[in-house]
Structure 1
Amino acid sequence: MTEELLVLVRPELRDPIARCAAAAGYRMVVSDVAGSRRAWLRTAAVIVDPAAVADLAVVRPPRRDRVVLVSSGDPGPDTWRSALNLGADNVFELPADESALVGALSAMRAPRRGPGNAIALIGGHGGAGATTLAAAVALCAVDDGRRVLLLDVDDLGAGIDLTLGVEAQPGLRWQDLAVHGGGTVRGQSLHDALPKAADRLSILAPRREATAMIAVDAVIATLDAGRADGDMIVVDLPRADSPVVRAVVDSVDLVTVVTSATVAGVASSRVVVGRLCGSDVAAEVVVRGPAPGGLRGVEVAAAIGLPLLATYRSDPGLPGRLEAGRLRIAPRRQLGRAARTVCRRVGAAQRAVA
């Protein structure tokens, strides 16, 4: 499979880089810094020039490997120092060093550990069950041996930590995480500071008594940290058109819309999808039964305009069990099977872009 090379350079450097990329077996992805966050951790390698380095120093994406600095002259010590902070370990002067750049890019194609993957779940309507499914997906991922970062970004919700029975645990909440101006977060440090529902499941939820809203910068930095550290990230989204929701939708591998098999559920879910999920967003639907009017999952998905990912029936005993304690997933119950399907699908989505 042809690997992707993220190219953040001025136009006059693109032709020699295109020759080098083709010779090394890459497909170029040309972007500007502002629009590169999605590709920064997903592409096999990145090429930057001094202007991009200066812009990235302001944005401060997470450090990654396989970053190359190119320039038409001496980049200068300040530029090189900033490039090192981004993860660069080579600098090439073009066009003189084209053959050396081809060699470096070819060497970078050796197998590597990919970044973590991320999924967001959002209810197509109130009471659709997105929070419960998000918690179930996180638990399934832990059972698969993954380290999971479960993020609840609903300022006004009860909190997914309550669903998992860890609301009283000490640890950071969103309002305690102050990240400003494109700052970064270290993945392991974050896990150490968060409440845990299992050895490999850390939860970041809002503080209920806080009046401050969740900051977009904090959400972006946390997503980037989890990806860089190889985590599976599960995000429970509120049904809202907000900067935080849009930032998450733009960052994850897959958006899963959870809806009931009802006419009202379909109508509301169509609004959510139309507002938040553009043509460049990978989105699929999970349909929860029963269906009072006999709507089938495939019909619900077709009406919403998304592929059908999974269907399951509500468990009448689940609300009572949640009131009595934390959510537990039985693999043979329908919720457990649906969560397992979602886990497998997001893993496939991540492998397709890694």
Structure 2
Amino acid sequence: MTSDGELLDELLRIAATGGTEVEVVADPAAARPRWAGAPLVLVGVDQAEACLRARLPHRPHLVLVGHGGSDDLGWQLAELIGAGHVAVLPPAEPWLVDRFADTVADPLARTVTGTGRVVSVIGGRGGAGASVLAGGLAVTSARAGLRTLLVDADPLGGGLDLVLGWEELAGLRWPALTEAEGQVDPLALARALPSRGDLVTLSWDRGALLALPAQAMAATMDAARRGRDLVVVDLPRYLDDPAVIALQATDRAFVVVPAELRATAAAARVVSAVALHCGDLSVIVRGPAPGRLRAREVARALDLPLTGMLRPEPGLSRGLERGEAPAATGRGPLAELCQRIVAELTGAATAEDTEDAA
């Protein structure tokens, strides 16, 4: 990331020497969609202050780079943007060549492709049903034969393993992964987590609340995209750094909003925050509508496309209390909506289906 033409020319030459292809962006706005997923990020000193203003989350393998004559280049600025290294050119050129070469030399990076898709779900207000929708999407995806990972990004949500009825299943939860960083083996991650068939989940437990480092989320999302066909993320309404990293890795996000006036007003604040980090955002409206507020009116108020509406499903809550995973039977309004969304994500939906849903 740099708008300094002279610095860019030097970095392109160094990258070529290290055998690495690079993506070039001029500012944080252009970098944001790629920020979490790139194995290595170099920020020119000319963009360091812009990174601070953009509040890009801290991530591993971030290097602040500039020329030896720059007065602003130093560790204080690097610490502010979360850079682990400062590279002053020309003396740091051999070190940078090695860093570029490392991104190519890693055998795991060559053999595992990052083709998995990431979808995120967030509630427009508390109790909107976002966690249940996230669980339903993950269950439906696995039923369709997709290798699926359900990620619980909400440390205050009570644990997504409870939504699935998996609280007794053995496997690691987030507290055991707080030290993860760098590149994580996707197969090792999947084997370590609670799973049934093609569905794997990474959940919070009911222990003491721990801070999740942004690096741990970045490493997890990178491994998930490389090792799974579909990743479903349940996001908190308050976007901390790990949640922002998950959003930046997201291909499509859904905000769940009850069909109520106050819920719509609350969702407007959530949408404004989410839209900064994910460009493909749509709304799912959940009934009932006590004031007869229509789904299209909610979508219009939020200025978002309408993905669908969830009709009341009395048996769903009873099933969740009995430990039954949402959408597990493949029947009911939730299952039908999840089936359509998964079909659209995998390209199985027809244009007519999509038009009818809109």
TM-score of the pair, normalised by structure 1: 0.71
1:239: which partner in 2?
237
Q: Please show how residues 156-171 of structure 1 align to structure 2 within 5 Å.
A: 156-171=156-171
3-state SS, counterpart of residue 255 of structure 1:
strand
3-state SS, counterpart of residue 59 of structure 1:
coil
5+ residue gaps, structure 2: 13-22, 46-58, 63-89, 107-111, 348-358
Q: CA RMSD in A?
A: 3.7
3-state SS, counterpart of residue 314 of structure 2:
coil
2:190: which partner in 1?
191
5+ residue gaps, structure 1: 1-6, 18-27, 53-57, 62-72, 90-111, 349-354
Q: Which has the higher strand share?
A: 1
- Partners of 1:246 and 1:268 in 2: CA distance: 19
Please state how far the C-alpha of 1:248 moved relative to its aligned partner: 2.0
**Is the Cα contact below 8 Å between 2:114 and 2:227 reproduced in 1?**
no
- Partners of 2:322 and 2:221 in 1: CA distance: 32
**Is the Cα contact below 8 Å between 2:33 and 2:278 reproduced in 1?**
no
TM-score of the pair, normalised by structure 2: 0.70
Please state how far the C-alpha of 1:15 moved relative to its aligned partner: 7.8
Q: Please show how residues 325-344 of structure 1 align to structure 2 within 5 Å.
A: 325-329=323-327, 330-344=329-343
Residues 305, 319 of structure 1: alpha-carbon distance in 2 compared, 3 angstrom cutoff: same
Aligned AA (1:81): D
**Is the Cα contact below 8 Å between 1:175 and 1:210 reproduced in 2?**
no
Q: Please show how residues 1-354 of structure 1 align to structure 2 within 5 Å.
A: 11-12=5-6, 30-31=25-26, 36=31, 38-39=33-34, 59-60=60-61, 78-87=95-104, 115-179=115-179, 182-196=181-195, 198-278=196-276, 281-329=279-327, 330-347=329-346
CA deviations over 1:181-217 (Å, ceiling 9, x no partner): x523221111010011x21111111121123122222
Aligned AA (1:233): V
Residues 347, 278 of structure 1: alpha-carbon distance in 2 compared, 3 angstrom cutoff: farther
Please state how far the C-alpha of 1:134 moved relative to its aligned partner: 0.3
**Is the Cα contact below 8 Å between 1:179 and 1:221 reproduced in 2?**
no
Residues 183, 49 of structure 1: alpha-carbon distance in 2 compared, 3 angstrom cutoff: closer
Residues 150, 211 of structure 1: alpha-carbon distance in 2 compared, 3 angstrom cutoff: same
Instruction: Provide the identity percentage.
Output: 35
- Partners of 1:288 and 1:326 in 2: CA distance: 20
- Partners of 2:278 and 2:157 in 1: CA distance: 28
- Partners of 1:164 and 1:38 in 2: CA distance: 30
**Is the Cα contact below 8 Å between 1:41 and 1:227 reproduced in 2?**
no
